[in-house]
Structure 1
């Protein structure tokens, strides 16, 4: 009984460590923005923490947002990744990604390819019909 409890505790700790492997800063495929992936409760989120416009002294706005009231909000600090849940196979699912270039929100899943590469796939309906890009861990 005690051995079983220790095994379950170790398995839970290992699973949690694996789930949190996505935490930290990631550089977009185009290398024009950086995202901080963080955890709230048991879900994972990501917000913009840097963009090339910032280096030029420009504060980019959410100009393509379908809601006219939101078009003047800053992209810097904006939460684009929402409500991801960890699945046991290095995948975070059931979340959404907002694309400010199009002003659209898509279903999304993220898969950790290795410690420094994250496959981010946005899609509509099923993941077969979507687009992926590889983000790299920012150091």
Structure 2
């Protein structure tokens, strides 16, 4: 093997190996954008805390903190505990709406599921808009990052 070929082999082999190792991760990062909503969020009325995270290839949110009196956890329309209730589902980044993610939200009092959008206009602030049909016909809430504690059975401190 000539001196030039040895140098090419010594140089190209590590470069090609790095390219093969990095390429799958780069493709993965492009195909599924990071979840900017990961973490705990306090609802606008300060009566609920949601844990938002990744569920497969979508973003979802569970109700993990509630304001309630006594020891009985609030129940949804079907009589199930609202503690850890999956309420935000199937959120995916929208390609045309400037950082908004589209998904669904459950109203535990009625059992109805509505279309929804979430976005973050600034750090530690989340906007959630639930609607029927078009986003124009909906209501927007402002949620903030939650740094507090949650007691047993999803109970929030007063």
| TM-score in terms of structure 2 length | 0.69
**Cα deviation code 1:35-73 (max 9, x no counterpart):** 0001022201101101011x64331001xx3xxxx2x10
Q: List runs of 5+ in structure 2 lacking aligned partners.
A: 1-15, 17-21, 148-158
Query: Aligned pair in 2 of structure 1 residues 109, 23: CA closer, same or farther (>3 Å)?
Result: same
Runs of 4+ that moved beyond 3 A: 9-16
Of structures 1 and 2, the larger Rg is shown by: 2
- Aligned with residue 59 of structure 2, among 31, 44, 49: 44
Contact 1:21/1:115 (CA < 8 Å) preserved in 2? no
Matched, 1:58 2:65: no
- Aligned with residue 87 of structure 1, among 94, 98, 102: 94
Contact 1:19/1:86 (CA < 8 Å) preserved in 2? no
Name the one with the larger strand percent. Answer: 1
1:124 alignment partner in structure 2: 132
Q: C-alpha root-mean-square deviation of aligned residues, in Å?
A: 2.6
Q: What is the distance in 2 between the residues matched to 1:56 and 1:118?
A: 30
Aligned length: 127
Q: What is the distance in 1 between the residues matched to 2:109 and 2:44?
A: 14
- Aligned with residue 24 of structure 1, among 23, 39, 63: 39
**Cα deviation code 1:49-104 (max 9, x no counterpart):** 01011x64331001xx3xxxx2x1000110000100013532111x1101123432
| TM-score in terms of structure 1 length | 0.78
1:109 alignment partner in structure 2: 117
